[in-house]
């Protein structure tokens, strides 16, 4: 993968990217995405896993939909949601790997264990 020294975006493009990152900045929305990474789901199915109220989950789904991260479709009387952006799992995996690595490093430091290998 080639790395660019700058983001090849216009100012408007930077706003779009920032909107998506803002949508990812809420723990409940990450829980919703975690559920949708498995398979598409209705609001009720999402509620079963993430808890909260239907109004709250619907509000978060509206943000995710408005940020083009999830799609929705009608299935009879229910609305079914799915991941819209195929790069989303990759983005979340990269960040989760970093969080996991940092947690391991902190635990090792507390336990007095040396770091394994260098950071990339």
pLDDT tens figures, 83-114: 998 899 888 888 888 888 888 888 888 988 87
- Give me the long-range contacts of 61-65 (CB less than 8 A, separation at least 24): 61/32, 63/23, 63/26, 63/29, 64/23, 64/29, 64/32, 64/33
Same-domain check for residues 93 and 73 = no
Q: Rg of the chain's alpha carbons, rounded to an integer?
A: 18
- At 28-56, the pLDDT tens digits run 999 999 999 999 999 999 999 999 999 99
CATH of the domain at 30: 1.10.10.10
On whether both 68 and 112 belong to a single domain, the answer is no
In the chain, the number of structural domains is: 2
Confidence of residue 5 (pLDDT cuts 50, 70, 90): low
- C-alpha distances in Å from residue 10, one per residue of 38, 78, 87: 34, 38, 20
Q: How confident is the model at residue 120 (pLDDT cuts 50, 70, 90)?
A: very low
């Amino acid at each position: 993968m080639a790395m660019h020294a700058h983001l090849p975006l216009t100012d408007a493009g930077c706003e779009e990217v920032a909107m998506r990152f803002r949508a990812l900045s809420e723990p409940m929305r990450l829980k919703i995405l975690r559920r949708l990474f498995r398979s598409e789901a209705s609001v009720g199915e999402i509620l079963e896993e993430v808890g909260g109220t239907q109004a709250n989950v619907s509000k978060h789904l509206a943000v995710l939909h408005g940020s083009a991260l999830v799609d929705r479709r009608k299935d009879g009387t229910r609305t079914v949601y799915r991941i819209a952006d195929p790069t989303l799992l990759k983005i979340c995996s990269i960040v989760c790997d970093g969080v996991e690595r940092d947690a391991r490093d902190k635990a090792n430091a507390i336990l007095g264990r040396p770091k394994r290998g260098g950071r990339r």
